[in-house]
A and B are shown apart, each in its own frame.
Chain A
């Protein structure tokens, strides 16, 4: 296998691993917070339904976390296996957050084990809830640290490059690079948002499939409310990300917006197709790109004409950007209308079509996460470390990458199908109605015997 092929297959394998891992990682970051909120609401309102909600979510969470852990281990090692030259160079500057990530992960793993097995150990539910705090913190901080590494790839700093050698290395300066605040915030909040909408989709689906239990209605209202808050947050942070890009990575923004000439009063192009350098059938919003980039309708936005041709990312990232933004805006509207509808007693939010819309929101937000990450990664091309190292220089020279690609593709297929089958079986064999009935029977039994049943 030639070197070009090694580069190609390394890219495909990395993209495959990340695209698969990010689904489970997103759930892994967001769902612990949702469980925590549900359990907390349950304790505060003294409502068994919310406690059960937390418990059932936690049960499903274990399955997704297992796949997240093993695929995370895979990508962690693949960084060195597929991009050894990159790790050798970047490791000298950005190893710190990678290392800290393993601590966050360690912390999370320990307390998740404890949390799962101590549902019935404490008489005071609050103590049990307390055990979940490190799980949620560990999960979110894993995302923070690993995203810092990715931010560094976009805006490397904290070192000087002298004759190809890195000198004057400052690990903390490297961590707190300009890309870091917006990127970290955007990744974390969209993980919360996506998790909320996935859980909302499940509740809406149960309601559509004939269960009219108030349990699902409570779940739906709670998750839609959370989804609304987080999706608005995601949009606000997304706007800051645009300003970051305009300042530090203008070629990424320009490629995503098909902005060819540097100019002021730049319009924002949505959708459309490209004919040479001419944009056709796009929706054009005047001044919007200048506003997104600099909060000023007349501000100058740097176009692709300011960059050498071989340093411009592929222009199809425009569609990835549009997909991400469209789904984000759609979800703000769906959850906003739902929330408003609850207060105004609008009937249509309980209609079948609206519930189907909420169900669609689950997979759609996952697609938005994928599109966002593809945009972030492809938009950095041809660099792996912006302005320092290009992707082909970073890749392994080993043959066999193609074979590994097929092996890992098979693995992800097995894990993907396996996790879905297991989750479906798990909840189908133990529907919530039965579990509620069982618990009530248990409590009655307990009181009849006149004591604590434990």
Chain B
């Protein structure tokens, strides 16, 4: 495996991590706000709070890790994406900032206004939408080179059906991932009402997820034939992904083994995500940028990979400890421990 493929694999893995933990987090915020609106907050708030509290900061790090690593391994992405993505990424940053800080303000400070919860929930929906613009742009056709400088064509971007399909997929998938995970979590906590409600949400959002995902493949046929053909070449990954999707929905429907449902869900998204990524090879940005011509020098690449391996040696045991103390700790999940913060 060449260094650049290794590098992009590492980055994709962290992006995938962010998509999953981020989706759980964003979706949880949305369901929480929605339950306030429908007067069902007594059912959901507890479960959601117990999950989110110790992990919210960790979620954010996945994102930082991804974009810092991206510029590290592929410095030219700073030039192309940095120049063109000023507005969408700044908006995403502002949403992230409001969301992250108000979460801490609300949880650790004194609880305040209901308005915050709504803002928090809305930000969680707008975030995947604004972040997903990066994926759309990477398909090409939205960036013109003017005097050697990349310029984003907003008109083309916002009138393209591809853009909106990806936006809808990001929202639907966020809510679906979150609902499936929280169903399992609520079930583990022994919270019957919350489990039932979240299971319902999961089933509701499963269909839009799979429809928009299929829609994007169809859109790509006309938008980026190269990518489309490479996707078709990897049909078995998507077929397997679809089978896992059916498995998750079946388990939810039958109220059977929610833990396995979560693993199938992760498998489904991993297959689709890596399949999409492999088909994207070698382009980081059609047709301007490939992973080969944007790759950093070998000395830096080697240094980054060594740092990454050493870093993982530190992180994996720490993450394991975090999960063991909270996520997989029965007493904590059920709220039996007296774990008041600070």
Q: Identify which of A89, A103, A397 contacts B83 (C-beta below 8 A).
A: A397
Known: A62-B342, A415-B97. A422 touches B55 (CB 8 A): no
Q: Identify which of B72, B76, B97 contacts A411 (C-beta below 8 A).
A: B97
Known: A109-B61, A454-B338. A80 touches B67 (CB 8 A): yes
Beta-carbon contact of B299 and A80 below 8 Å: no
Known: A70-B100, A96-B72. A171 touches B315 (CB 8 A): no
CB contacts (< 8 Å) of B283 on chain A: these are: none
Known: A77-B93, A84-B82. A113 touches B322 (CB 8 A): yes
CB contacts (< 8 Å) of B56 on chain A: these are: 113
Taking the nearest CB of chain A, how far is it from the CB of B171, in angstroms?
A: 22
B263 at the interface (CB under 8 A from A): no
Beta-carbon contact of B109 and A58 below 8 Å: no
CB contacts (< 8 Å) of B89 on chain A: these are: 77, 81
Q: Identify which of A80, A92, A103 contacts B81 (C-beta below 8 A).
A: A80
B1 at the interface (CB under 8 A from A): no
Known: A103-B315, A114-B54, A408-B90. A77 touches B307 (CB 8 A): no
Interface 1/0s, chain A 56-100, versus B by CB < 8 A?
Answer: 101100110111011111101111111111011101110110111
Kindly state the interface size class of chain A when it binds its partner. Answer: 35 or more
CB contacts (< 8 Å) of B75 on chain A: these are: 87-89, 91-92, 95
Q: Identify which of A103, A414, A425 contacts B109 (C-beta below 8 A).
A: A425
Taking the nearest CB of chain B, how far is it from the CB of A238, in angstroms?
A: 30
Give Cα distance in the complex from A55 to B93, angstroms: 31
Beta-carbon contact of A62 and B64 below 8 Å: no
CB contacts (< 8 Å) of B326 on chain A: these are: 113-114, 117
CB contacts (< 8 Å) of A102 on chain B: these are: 61, 64-65, 68-69
Known: A62-B108, A408-B90. A95 touches B304 (CB 8 A): yes
Beta-carbon contact of B97 and A396 below 8 Å: no
Beta-carbon contact of A426 and B337 below 8 Å: no
Give Cα distance in the complex from A113 to B93, angstroms: 22
Beta-carbon contact of A105 and B64 below 8 Å: yes
Beta-carbon contact of B300 and A169 below 8 Å: yes
CB contacts (< 8 Å) of B79 on chain A: these are: 84-85, 87-88
Give Cα distance in the complex from A66 to B120, angstroms: 15
Name the CB-closest residue of B to A415: B101
Taking the nearest CB of chain B, how far is it from the CB of A379, in angstroms?
A: 25
Q: Identify which of A73, A92, A171 contacts B96 (C-beta below 8 A).
A: A73
Stretch in A224-232, A353-361, A398-406 with 4+ CB within 8 Å of B: A398-406
Give Cα distance in the complex from A422 to B110, angstroms: 7
Taking the nearest CB of chain A, how far is it from the CB of B99, in angstroms?
A: 8
Interface 1/0s, chain A 97-138, versus B by CB < 8 A?
Answer: 011111101110111111011111100000000000010000
Beta-carbon contact of A114 and B101 below 8 Å: no
Q: Identify which of A83, A103, A397 contacts B149 (C-beta below 8 A).
A: A397
B117 at the interface (CB under 8 A from A): no
Residues of chain B at interface, number, CB under 8 A: 72
A170 at the interface (CB under 8 A from B): yes
CB contacts (< 8 Å) of A172 on chain B: these are: 303
Interface 1/0s, chain A 417-454, versus B by CB < 8 A?
Answer: 01100110110010000000000000000000000001
Beta-carbon contact of A117 and B96 below 8 Å: no
Taking the nearest CB of chain A, how far is it from the CB of B135, in angstroms?
A: 17
Q: Identify which of B58, B101, B105 contacts A110 (C-beta below 8 A).
A: B58
Beta-carbon contact of B61 and A113 below 8 Å: no
A162 at the interface (CB under 8 A from B): no
Beta-carbon contact of B300 and A92 below 8 Å: yes
Beta-carbon contact of B57 and A112 below 8 Å: yes
Beta-carbon contact of B339 and A118 below 8 Å: yes
Taking the nearest CB of chain B, how far is it from the CB of A288, in angstroms?
A: 42
Name the CB-closest residue of A to B323: A110
A214 at the interface (CB under 8 A from B): no
Beta-carbon contact of B108 and A100 below 8 Å: no
Name the CB-closest residue of A to B72: A95
CB contacts (< 8 Å) of B65 on chain A: these are: 102, 106
Give B residues with C-beta under 8 Å from A: 53-58, 60-61, 63-65, 67-69, 71-73, 75-87, 89-91, 93-94, 96-98, 100-105, 108-110, 149, 151, 296-297, 299-300, 303-304, 307-308, 311, 314-315, 318-319, 321-322, 325-326, 337-342
A80-B81, A100-B311, A116-B54 given; name 10 further pairs at CB < 8 Å.
A62-B341, A70-B97, A73-B63, A81-B86, A95-B304, A100-B307, A113-B57, A397-B149, A398-B86, A404-B86
* Top-6 shortest CB links A-B: A66-B104, A84-B82, A95-B72, A422-B109, A91-B75, A87-B78
Q: What are some 7 contacts across the A-B interface (CB < 8 A)?
A: A66-B103, A72-B64, A80-B78, A88-B82, A106-B315, A396-B83, A422-B109
